Copies of this chain bind each other. A is one copy, B any other.
């Protein structure tokens, strides 16, 4: 319809991560962010999750461009997968695009058109005008968007917080949000990550004094762990190292890459004469060393985990201090707990969020969310970037500052939101599943595969194999293959009994019955399932194989 703008969130509305929103007009489609999400611990073998972009692929000729708000993986990490299926120019700030380039190179994707923008710039794309507005977040060069459309102005907050003393001195562009509010905003889309937290988020700078005290009291080496993309956090650690006369080494591939990029582009102050490579660390007295490292989520293959288990060039030893300076992503509590316990066992001292003030969130708390609402004064409001409960809490905050509840939409992935002549409503929905990625090679693991995996993992698997001749006589087997079922010794007698059951079963079947291979398989399956259930109260997956010679 002429003048209609359709917003379709493909990710990030109903989960933490894989943020992605389509803005569709008659003239084209603009994609805002294309992130990934980390899998739950109960999704075995899944490396990451991205939005289903089938809708976009079917309309790829309409795709006018991809606009990025900042360089975090939950906003850009889906692109290496999506750019195999669609292509379009990508717009973002300098740091965002450089981080993306690096990532794409790993996947062998080099031919991508990128257009650098600065906060304050505007571009025309797919029938809308998109304006980039500076916000504060845990990575430099983050922007919100004002999307000027035929239906009215949409403000998209990106990920933001109100940091009054940001590490890079670049305060969020409050003035522009105020102007937009004065001129009239039809719809605000705003970051819900911390909508459950009352008050104001502490400034990134606010953790400096506590970190300073830890540095002052540490006699051994200091290992500081955070996300490789948390450039402001890394900057603070660099300043602390300089202040306390420690050389800086970097561990972990993504940390090395990001630090190099951020320094090269001027987003990170890291003087050459303060750095040392990991080998050089060994020749320095412990009190002269700080190692910046990945692994803040307890990932078993991260530099921190490897250093804690002697599987790395450097080892963490008694007397060392480890600072885990990051939020715990839900689902990773156990893994982080394990690494902390392990470090204490080694005799290292460990500081982490639960016991020390060593992390500040990059996302706005409730009072800041109210500020964004009060500045932009939108007619309509849709909370974005959060699990469902966080969207609900954000909706209540909006109601609390006076937006009528009929003008607040809690939308979810796949919902189609229509904007027209100053009105906004839910117009339908499209399929928007999650795509589970297993390795670089596979395009997406289906639900069946994941269900089988969980099933095998929970109960183990037994595969009885028989070979029948043309007369239906058993000529080889039954053989029994089992995995993940019972401990080795415990199985032997049980499997012998199971074999006898199968032999009896086959003997009791006529030649005609045995010609129906599926029926034979089904009989064996049923018999064995009943047998294992009764005998050992267990329900392994039973997959009979019947072969003919």
Given contacts A334-B40, A463-B463, A537-B439, contact A549 B14 (CB under 8 A): no
A487 touches B439 (CB 8 A): no
B461 touches A483 (CB 8 A): yes
Query: Which A193-238 residues sit within 8 Å CB-CB of chain B?
Result: 196
When the two chains form the complex, which single residue of B445, B459, B475, B543 contacts A45, counting CB atoms closer than 8 Å? B459
Query: Which A423-455 residues sit within 8 Å CB-CB of chain B?
Result: 438-446, 448-450, 452-454
A341 touches B456 (CB 8 A): no
Cα–Cα distance between A224 and B534 once the two chains are bound (Å): 37
Binds B, one of A28-36, A116-124, A385-393: A385-393
> What bracket does the count of chain A residues touching chain B fall in?
35 or more
When the two chains form the complex, which single residue of B476, B488, B541 contacts A446, counting CB atoms closer than 8 Å? B488
Q: CB of A319 within 8 A of chain B?
A: no
The residues of B that contact A485 with a CB separation of less than 8 Å are 449
Q: CB of A420 within 8 A of chain B?
A: no
B476 touches A456 (CB 8 A): no
When the two chains form the complex, which single residue of B42, B483, B545 contacts A456, counting CB atoms closer than 8 Å? B483
Q: CB of A337 within 8 A of chain B?
A: yes
B549 touches A439 (CB 8 A): no
A460 touches B454 (CB 8 A): no
Distance to closest chain B CB from A48 (angstroms): 14
A440 touches B341 (CB 8 A): no
Count identical subunits in the complex: 2
Q: CB of A536 within 8 A of chain B?
A: yes
B537 touches A484 (CB 8 A): no
Cα–Cα distance between A537 and B45 once the two chains are bound (Å): 13
Given contacts A449-B487, A484-B452, A543-B481, contact A476 B548 (CB under 8 A): yes
Distance to closest chain B CB from A170 (angstroms): 31
A479 touches B547 (CB 8 A): yes
Cα–Cα distance between A182 and B460 once the two chains are bound (Å): 57
B393 touches A484 (CB 8 A): no
Distance to closest chain B CB from A409 (angstroms): 14
A467 touches B547 (CB 8 A): yes
The residues of B that contact A549 with a CB separation of less than 8 Å are 467, 469, 475-476, 549
Q: CB of A354 within 8 A of chain B?
A: yes
* A interface residue numbers (CB < 8 A to B): 14, 40-42, 44-45, 196, 330-331, 333-334, 337, 340-342, 344-345, 350, 354-355, 387-389, 392-393, 438-446, 448-450, 452-454, 456-461, 463, 465, 467, 469, 475-477, 479, 481, 483-488, 490, 536-538, 541, 543, 545, 547-549
7 contacts between A and B (CB under 8 A): A41-B331, A44-B454, A196-B354, A445-B486, A475-B549, A481-B545, A549-B549
A-B pairs, top 9 by smallest CB distance, nearest first, are: A44-B457, A457-B457, A441-B537, A453-B484, A341-B388, A45-B458, A446-B487, A452-B484, A41-B41
